[in-house]
Chains A and B, each alone.
Chain A
Amino acid sequence: MDKAFAKTAQNIITCTIDENGDVIFLATDANDAFLNHGDVVTKRASHVEPVQRFARVLFYILRWFGDKGRIAEWTRNWHVTWRVNTRPVGGPILRVKDVHPEISFDHYPQYGEQHAWWFDRQAAIDAEIKFLNEWFLERGIQ
């Protein structure tokens, strides 16, 4: 019998098994417990990027040198607003309706279509993880 899921996101590990019996999961230290399951391919799922165009361009120029190291770490601590771009898996730049699927925007669809943004980068990452796990369940990986 299916059990109810816990409500918190940070300590939840999620794996999706697709129609072919293969497994998709986000690359985190905790999820890497499942690395030995089979032959693993790792790909980019999404970006948490600055909302402001100038900052975003600078962000990608600096990140072109790599996602690790002092410069990459510095870009993560910028005092900017952040958005989530899931285009690498064929998804959208997260909109308000993607982040709050429980809210009906039928009367004000323009609010639902607006890009969601966060001051707190970690909050953006939490929303990113939640969205991607739903995306894998609904659409899988093409």
Chain B
Amino acid sequence: MSEYRKSTTNCKDKECLIEALVEMGYKREHIEIHDVPQQLYDFQGHKTRYTDSSGDKANIIVRRNFVGGAANDLGFVLNPKTGTYDAIISQYDSGKHNAKWLAGLKGNYSVASLVKTGKAQGLKFLGKKVENGKTRLQWLDPRVKA
């Protein structure tokens, strides 16, 4: 008898989220990281107010000039209740940063996070395989004799 576990990905690790954004095409030097959340701006330079009437703030930000076109800032704010990073995406940019894009970001976050965890656990990473839109990661557990 075997059981499987399905883990719904929560973006809790800042470094892994940044790595995932890089995988999604943003340059690392264009990603701002702030311990204290900073204001997000729209394509006209005005404060955005999608989630907060006093102005949206985020810890991880890609400014609008790096998002492309007449875009607004893309941000991720640390939710103190859940410990996860929540995306702040304008309705205008939800065409580019749509559900599919977010799923891709989550997938890349999962890869970065699992590889990091595996390394911390002393597992030897064997590789990655992408098939049918799914990604398989494998490790060798040196504690188990084959």
Instruction: List A residues at the B interface (Cβ < 8 Å).
Output: 2-6, 8-27, 30-31, 33-48, 67, 89, 125, 128-129, 132-133, 136-138, 140-141
Once the chains are docked, how many angstroms separate the CA of A84 from the CA of B94? 45
Known: A6-B126, A16-B136, A33-B123. A129 touches B2 (CB 8 A): yes
Number of chain B residues close to chain A: CB under 8 A: 46
Q: In this complex, what residue of B is CB-closest to A39? A: B8
Those of B101-120 within 8 Å (CB) of chain A: 102-111, 113-114, 117-118
Known: A25-B5, A137-B136. A2 touches B129 (CB 8 A): yes
Once the chains are docked, how many angstroms separate the CA of A131 from the CA of B108? 25
Chain A, interface SS category:
mixed
- State the total of A-B contacts with C-beta under 8 angstroms: 177
Chain B, interface SS category:
mixed
Q: Which residues of A contact B114 (CB under 8 A)?
A: 15, 17, 23, 34, 37
Instruction: List B residues at the A interface (Cβ < 8 Å).
Output: 1-10, 102-111, 113-114, 117-118, 121, 123, 126-129, 131-146
Once the chains are docked, how many angstroms separate the CA of A23 from the CA of B136? 9
Once the chains are docked, how many angstroms separate the CA of A11 from the CA of B124? 11
